[in-house]
Amino acid sequence: MKRPIPFLALVAALALSACGTTIQAQVQSFTAGEQIAPGETVFVLPGVPPQQQTLETQSWVALAQQEFRKRGYIVTNDPNRATLKAAISLGIDNGRDVTSTFAVPQFGVTGYSGAQTFGTMNSFGNTATYSSNTTLTPQYGVTGYIPGSRTDRVFGRTGMLVMARFDPAGNMRVVFDSRIRSNGSCGNLAVIAPELVQALFSKFPAGGAGAVELPMAGQC
CA distance 80 to 89: 22
pTM of the entire predicted model: 0.71
Contact status, residue 11 vs residue 202, Cβ threshold 8 Å: no
pLDDT < 50 regions, the chain = 1-9, 11-12, 15-19
CA distance 5 to 52: 11
Geometric angle at alpha carbon 81, from 79 and 86, rounded to 5°? 45
What angle, rounded to 10 degrees, do the helices at 55-70 and 189-200 form?
A: 30
Quote the pLDDT of residue 125: 62
Provide the phi-psi class of 10: left if phi over 0, else alpha when psi is between -120 and 50, else beta.
Answer: alpha
Summarised one tens digit per residue, pLDDT across range 7-55 is 444 544 554 444 458 999 999 999 998 889 999 999 999 999 888 899 9
CATH class (in words) of the domain with range 7-98+154-215:
alpha beta
Task: Indicate where the chain has its CATH 3.30.160 domain(s).
Answer: 7-98+154-215
